[in-house]
């Protein structure tokens, strides 16, 4: 994984940064598992699991799945892996091909993520993680290092890609109430998206569709 700057590269940054104990923790708590689930020449394990599940929301652009209790999709591993990549990209500058890559700016959430990774705090309440799994049969093996931007509503957004999977975090005081639907750490459950990489976009009415589906499901459960 190459933290820092938007761009594709088959070369990993190898700067020493973490102690051996922390590297081992990151590997055991999420990295090893998640990297085994991404797109590989012999298959795409995570996508295969999602295709066995009934979608909560479905249209011509995407499907959303509730993976709260799905065998093969341990939510905490994905949360921990994403947190470790975003935190490393914010904790220091990196170099790639001799060029300095600027740190992500996460504000107070950098320290909250650090304490989460150490087991001192839960995953930050004001951070929402979205996981988009590429639906194309030939997903490709692109990795894109962490980069920052703004969601259409102005919310701070950071994202990175490993082969076949796009990880996006949105941070801020309002995300837990206004940008919660469809997140892996949503108040309503744990969700993953299956959508084309070539047309991937986070918020074009998708959140509203997820909320409508959740309300309908709760209505069906009431006597």
Token pair listed for 35 = 């990297």
Q: Tell me whether strands 156-162 and 94-96 are parallel, antiparallel or unpaired.
A: unpaired
Spell out a b/e string for 38-67, using b for 16 or more CB atoms within 10 Å of the CB, else e: bbeeeebbbbebbeebebbbeeeebbbbbb
List pLDDT tens digits, range 101-155. 778 999 999 999 999 999 999 999 999 999 999 998 776 677 777 888 888 788 8
Task: Let me know if residue 136 belongs to a domain.
Answer: yes
List of residues 6+ apart from 102 with CB closer than 8 A = 4, 5, 93
CA-to-CA dists, residue 120 to 28, 75, 114, 115, 194, angstroms: 17, 19, 9, 5, 32
Q: Helix 108-117 to helix 75-91 angle, to the nearest 10 degrees? A: 130
Question: Can you read off the two tokens belonging to residue 75?
Answer: 């939510």
In a domain, 2, yes or no: no
Is 162 domain-assigned? Answer: yes
Cβ-count burial 71-107 (b if 16+ within 10 Å, e if not): eebbbebbbbbbbbbbbbbbbeebebeeeebebbebe
Radius of gyration of the chain (CA): 17
Give mean pLDDT, residues 54-82: 89
How far is residue 222's CA from residue 36's CA, in Å, rounded to a whole number? 39
pLDDT at 84 over 80: yes
Q: Note the pLDDT tens digit of each residue in 91-116.
A: 887 776 777 777 899 999 999 999 99
Q: How far apart are the C-alpha atoms of 150 and 147, rounded to whole Å?
A: 11
Q: Are 119 and 26 in contact (CB under 8 A)?
A: no
- Say what the pLDDT of residue 164 is: 92
* pLDDT of amino acid 222: 63
Range of the domain at 33: 20-221
If pLDDT is split at 50, 70 and 90, which confidence band does 2 have?
very low
Query: The tokens 């999420």 sit on which residue?
Result: 30
pLDDT at 20: 73
For residues 188 and 180, give the distance between their C-alpha atoms in angstroms, rounded to a whole number: 8
The verdict on residue 8 lying in a domain is no
Closest CA to 190 of 78, 86, 98, 68: 68
Other CB atoms within 10 A of residue 199 CB: 10
Instruction: Tell whether 211 is covered by a domain.
Output: yes
Place of tokens 């509730």: 66
Q: Decide if 89 contacts 167 (C-beta within 8 A).
A: no
Residue of higher predicted confidence among 13 and 65 = 65
**Is there a domain that residue 13 lies in?**
no
Q: How many domains does the chain have?
A: 1
Q: For the purposes of burial, counting CB atoms within 10 Å of the CB of 173, is it exposed (0-12), middle (13-18) or buried (19 or more)? A: exposed
Question: Is 215 part of a structural domain of the chain?
Answer: yes
Higher pLDDT, 14 or 130: 130
Residue 12 lies in a domain: no
């Amino acid at each position: 994984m190459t933290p820092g700057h938007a761009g594709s590269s088959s070369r990993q940054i190898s700067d020493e940064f973490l102690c051996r104990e922390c590297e081992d923790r990151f590997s055991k708590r999420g990295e090893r598992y998640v990297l085994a689930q991404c797109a590989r020449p012999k298959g795409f394990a995570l996508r295969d699991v999602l295709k066995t599940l009934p979608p909560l929301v479905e249209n011509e652009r995407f499907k959303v799945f509730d993976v709260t209790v799905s065998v093969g999709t341990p939510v905490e591993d994905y949360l921990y892996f994403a947190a470790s990549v975003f935190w490393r990209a914010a904790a220091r500058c990196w170099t790639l091909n001799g060029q300095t890559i600027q740190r992500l700016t996460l504000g107070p959430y950098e320290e909250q993520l650090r304490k989460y990774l150490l087991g001192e705090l839960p995953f930050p309440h004001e951070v929402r993680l979205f996981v988009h799994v590429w639906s194309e049969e030939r997903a490709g093996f692109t990795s894109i290092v962490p980069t920052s931007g703004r969601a259409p509503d102005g919310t701070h957004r950071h994202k990175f890609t490993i082969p076949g999977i796009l990880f996006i975090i949105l941070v801020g005081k309002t995300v837990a109430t206004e940008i919660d639907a469809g997140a892996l750490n949503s108040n309503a459950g744990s969700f993953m998206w299956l959508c084309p990489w070539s047309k991937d976009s986070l918020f074009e009415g998708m959140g509203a569709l997820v909320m409508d589906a959740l309300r309908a499901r709760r209505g069906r459960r009431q006597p």
